[in-house]
Structure formats: structure tokens, C-alpha cells
Amino acid sequence: MDAYLSIVIPIYNEEENITALWERLSKVLAEHFADPAKPWEIIFTDDGSRDRSLPMLMDIARAEPRVKVVEFNRNYGQHSAIFGAFAEVTGRMVVTLDADLQNPPEEIPKLVAKVEEGYDVVGGWRQGRQENDSFFRTMPSKIVNAITRKTTGVKLHDYGCMLRAYSREVVDAMLLCKERSSFIPALANSFAKRVTEVPVAHAERAAGESKYGLWKLINLQFDLLTSFSLLPLQMLSVFGVVTAGVGFLLFLGLVIYRFMHPEGTAQGVFTLFAILFFFVGCQFVAFGLLGEYIGRIYQEVRDRPRYMVKKVHQAK
């Protein structure tokens, strides 16, 4: 039978957390989602863990038929792991969360309630981020949030929180995106009609270490910038127009100066500069133009669905 609620959890070397996670999760599910008409399922993706995570997950799956484990052959990263699980979901709504218990499973009912209200995407908004998330972990997230807000145009406070809920339609739309690097929260918003946020608690990582270093975050940021906007390419044109404009103004200024002071002689170098500026500017405009075409090719190649039909209405 198809599930009502699917819970998706990416796992990478989380042997210290799996037992506690499973305990707390099954308690929440037993308390809030016991209705047999609304069955739940959990899909773990083992993202190429090198510790005992996979056998532990398989033990859980053997004992509980509502648990599925997707095993990756190697480590592909959190977002790919979530996609791997998305491909297996059967539920009408899908909740994602981290395995390290930073996202308390107890918050799941809140998110589900919002989806039931009719929201397509419900983001968690972490309250009181743990201070011992180091400076190098919180500062980049702030930048990520700010840039995501700019590039996607959807104003959410917290894109980094992976405790999120999606309607199945949005998940199906995301699955149709074949691109390799994608940032799920931003991608989801581009297919959602109604997006909201709910405040969620945020705990310290229960055990183990964060799998994100500065480098992975920078990478994520580039993914974000390049997968959701052509801004960097378009900046080339803007820069070119500005440079050419400055060159042109300088040239005009020199001509006027020349007429006002016909005896002045030492402006040859400046004239050369003005002309150079102008041509450098033109070159950047040309780069920008090329960039614009490349950007369009990029968008075509990604082959994202242009729209998703929810339903076709017709009187019988």
C-alpha cells in the first residue's frame, strides 16, 4: 500500500546516531501517526558510509517492513542522497531530516500539519542555532541564506535547515530535474505555489562530526549561484557597459578639454587610455553576450521541466 507520510533521511557515517534517531523517530511516529489510514514509511539512504551505518540500517529494515534502505555504492553527498530516497517515496507528503539529531524528530508533526493545510513546501527555521556550531559553520550559512534569497527571489529565513516537508507533487517535479548539482531547498521553491516556514528547535550534533567543511560549503554556494541564476554571466555585460561608458566619457572630457585649452599638448597618453577603456569595455560586453548564449545552452541542457500539471479539470 502506498504511504501517506514518507520520511527521508540521508546517512553518511552516522553509526553513533542511528540508534537514538530510530528510537526517537519511532516514538514520534507511534504517538502521532498511528492512524492505519495514514501509513508512514521511512527511507534511509546510505551515502557510502564506511562505518557500521549500513548494517545497522539493514537490521532496522529487517525488523520493520515500513523502513526502506537505499544503498549507494559510494559517497555522493547529502543532496544526492536525498534524491536517491526521493526516487523511492510513495507518500503523499515527504519530510526530510538530518540523521545527527540536530533536527528533532519531534517537530515532524508540525511540518506535516502545514502540508495538510495545503502548503507545498514547509521549511524549518532553526531557532537558537547552537553556538558551538563554529563560526566557520554559521557564517557561511548566513551568506548562503542571503544569496539564496537573492537568486531565487523567495524570502525564507533559513535555507540550510534540512528539516523540511514537501508535497509529493514538488518532489516529483524535483525528480524530473536531471542536473547533477542542485540544492534541494531552492529547487523545491521553484516548483511550489505555497511556501511557508515554521520555527523548529535545533540541537547540537548528537555525535560524530559535521560532514561539511568550509570547502564543501563553498562548493554548495557555487552550485547554488550557478544552478539558479545566470547572474555571474550577466555581470560580465554590466561590467563591460560600465567600462566602455567610462572610457567614452573620458574621451569626451578630453575632447572638450582640448577645445578649451588648444595650447595643451600632453594628452596623447590619456586619449590612448580612453580608447583602450572603451575597447576593453566592448570586449566585456562581447563576453557577456557569449555568456548569455552559453547560459541559455546550460539551461536547455539541464532539461528542467518547464511546468508541472497538477490536474486537468474537465466536466464529465
x/- letters, 78..97, toward ligand UDP (CB under 6 A): x--x----------------
Q: With binding defined as CB under 5 A, does residue 47 bind Mg ion? A: no
x/- letters, 206..235, toward ligand UDP (CB under 6 A): ----xxx-----------------------
Nearest-approach distance from CB 21 to Mg ion, in angstroms? 12
Distance from C-alpha of 85 to C-alpha of 249, rounded to nearest angstrom: 58
Largest CA distance in the chain: 96
Nearest-approach distance from CB 301 to ligand UDP, in angstroms? 25
Nearest-approach distance from CB 36 to ligand UDP, in angstroms? 29
Q: With binding defined as CB under 6 A, does residue 201 bind ligand UDP? A: no
Distance from C-alpha of 103 to C-alpha of 161, rounded to nearest angstrom: 8
Q: Where are the alpha helices (DSSP H) in 153-267?
A: 168-175, 184-189, 214-228, 231-260
Binding partner selected for residue 77 from Mg ion, ligand UDP, none, CB under the kind-specific 5 to 8 Å limit: ligand UDP
Q: Which is nearer to ligand UDP, 7 or 250 (CB)?
A: 7
End-to-end CA distance of the chain: 29
Distance from C-alpha of 134 to C-alpha of 209, rounded to nearest angstrom: 12
Return the closest-CA partner of residue 8 out of 68, 57, 63, 48. 68
Are the C-beta atoms of 206 and 98 separated by less than 8 Å? no
Q: Could you say which residues in the range 126-145 bind ligand UDP, by CB under 6 A?
A: none
Q: With binding defined as CB under 5 A, does residue 102 bind Mg ion? A: yes
Q: Which positions lie near Mg ion, rule CB under 5 A? A: 98, 100, 102, 205
